[in-house]
Amino acid sequence: MKIKFLLTLLACSLLVHSQDDAAAVQSMYHSSLSNGMSYAWLDHLSNNIGGRLSGSEGAERAVEYTKSELEKLGLDKVWLQPVMVPKWVRGSKETGYFMANDQRHEMNICALGGSVATPEEGLTGEVIEVNGIQELKDLGADKVKGKIIFFNRPMEPTLIQTFESYGGCVDQRYAGAMEAGKLGAIGVVVRSMTLRLDKYPHTGSMTYGDLPPEKRIPSAAISTIDAEALSEALRNEASLKLSFKQSCKQYDDVESYNVIGELTGSEFPNEFIVIGGHLDSWDMGDGSHDDGAGVVQSMEVLRLMKLSEHRPKRSIRVVLFMNEENGLRGGRKYAEEAALNQEKHIMALESDSGGFTPRGFSFDCSDEEFEQVKGWELLFKPYLIHYFEKGGSGADIGPLKKEGMVLAGLRPDSQRYFDYHHTSIDTFDAVNKRELELGAATMASLVYLFDKYGLKNKTSLPIKN
């Protein structure tokens, strides 16, 4: 009888416990959907500031704007963390065309981020189409020398998660020019990284590795419609000529900032939970999905925590990282300083997959930690959040990784993401207010749970003072 009574008591306490959590989670969703700030912030970031490539005026204005908005939230601390970032500038609008059947076919083209310029009069050459880096290597220097290499492997449509399709192709964009340069090619054009057939060129980062300057060749993306047209034209006329012109330039590094805000923990101020997105974006659109959405959702998490009745036990930081797109300097800097200051981070969560309807999270953590997280899954079911899987997190928080902490990435629906990614149409109108707000509430709910329960089987640090 006594044991039964104790068990009943225990069951009741668990129930109360879980009702509290359910109510807290519900209040996050209710607040975000009814009085949320994320959409208004994104409106400003997208429509008043626009593209925010590292080192640009837009990036600096975004730093000022988000810092001042965080200051309005009544957090315990808001500050800027200086970081040196690369500065690459696109220059004039790129142009390109190929000649087929004696007709000039204009292409929608854009330089890849980090590329060198073409000669002022443009670059012209014969084209070799390859389906990837391996096929390029198999051709060898003899065939590649003096040619423009056209990487045309499309993203695989049958994969359900579009990030997997992207992962299976993006090496062409990132390393194509480096590999082609090694073999003596004079330039590279890459099929844009999207699953659609459309007219938009998609930019993105690329590298020359440690190639000497004379082997660094211009590289650009062309729209998928143009890629299809070029491929077809090449089948009829293998010796056709392609020309493109771009005037992009790499400048010396400049100083920029991560923007950080903190709610200091009441019980374990030296245990940190980080929520973040990246403040920089590519320059062609407004970076509304990538990653304006993640920025404003992360800010909203702190607003929701502050608004809720739950006083954080641990220190909760929003970090708006600079330079994810072409350097990751912000993410590295934050991790360096965290290590220097011996800050114990127990969890970091990034939103950098677009502002679409959230489906859940992927977690980079131990099996034991994952088991703890899975225990919270049912709390999210009323909000149609169902995806709790082990997997990657986010580029900016990657450098923080160490044993005894959980990295997580918000996983929104990915079907439309590459329609907009790194293009001129990544703009405010492509973001739905509710989808954005649901994402923020989903993040805030996870943060609430991590703050309340910490990591099981880990010793929490005592309060300072």
Query: Which residues would be at the binding site for its own copies (CB under 8 A)?
Result: 29-30, 33-34, 157-158, 160-162, 195-196, 357, 359, 382-384, 386-387, 413, 415-416, 419, 432-435, 438
Give the pair of three-digit tokens for residue 358. Answer: 């959230």
User: Nearer Cβ to its own copies, position 27 or 172?
Assistant: 27
Q: How far is the CB of 377 from its own copies (least distance, A)?
A: 11
Closest to 42 measured CA to CA, from 319, 324, 350, 293 = 293
Q: Which residue has the tokens 């929490």?
A: 460
Cα distance between residue 164 and residue 133, in whole Å: 18
Strand partners, 141: none
Q: How far is the CB of 355 from its own copies (least distance, A)?
A: 11
User: Nearer Cβ to its own copies, position 65 or 383?
Assistant: 383
User: Nearer Cβ to its own copies, position 386 or 402?
Assistant: 386
Q: How far is the CB of 410 from its own copies (least distance, A)?
A: 15
User: Nearer Cβ to its own copies, position 370 or 387?
Assistant: 387
Q: How far is the CB of 233 from its own copies (least distance, A)?
A: 24
CB 88 within 8 A of CB 326: yes
Torsion of CA 436, 440, 442, 446, to 10 degrees: 160
Q: How far is the CB of 14 from its own copies (least distance, A)?
A: 25
Closest to 445 measured CA to CA, from 400, 390, 379 = 379
Q: How far is the CB of 434 from its own copies (least distance, A)?
A: 5
Give the pair of three-digit tokens for residue 43. Answer: 């409106």
Give the pair of three-digit tokens for residue 156. Answer: 């695989």
Q: Decide: helix, strand or coil at residue 67.
A: helix
User: Nearer Cβ to its own copies, position 199 or 241?
Assistant: 199
CB 263 within 8 A of CB 301: no
User: Nearer Cβ to its own copies, position 33 or 225?
Assistant: 33
Q: Taken in order 303, 306, 307, 312, is the CA torsion positive or negative?
A: positive
User: Nearer Cβ to its own copies, position 382 or 462?
Assistant: 382
Q: Which of 69, 300, 324, 369 is catalytic?
A: 324
- Per this entry, what is the length of the chain? 465
User: Nearer Cβ to its own copies, position 159 or 175?
Assistant: 159
Q: Write down the H helix ranges in 243-328.
A: 293-307
Q: Decide: helix, strand or coil at residue 379.
A: helix
Q: How far is the CB of 160 from its own copies (least distance, A)?
A: 5
Cα distance between residue 408 and residue 329, in whole Å: 20
Q: Decide: helix, strand or coil at residue 177.
A: helix
Q: How far is the CB of 33 from its own copies (least distance, A)?
A: 5
User: Nearer Cβ to its own copies, position 33 or 80?
Assistant: 33
324 is catalytic: yes
Q: What is the edge-to-edge ordering of all strands in the sheet holding 109-111?
A: 103-107, 95-100, 241-245, 123-130, 148-151, 187-191, 219-222, 109-111
Q: What are phi and psi of 15, to 5 degrees?
A: -65, -45
Helix, strand, coil distribution of the chain in percent, nearest 5:
40, 25, 35
CB 318 within 8 A of CB 306: no
CB 76 within 8 A of CB 329: no
Q: How far is the CB of 261 from its own copies (least distance, A)?
A: 26
Q: Write down the H helix ranges in 224-292.
A: 224-236
Q: Which residue has the tokens 């659609």?
A: 196
Torsion of CA 301, 303, 309, 313, to 10 degrees: 60
Planar angle of CA 157, 162, 167, nearest 5 degrees: 100
Q: Catalytic amino acids?
A: 324
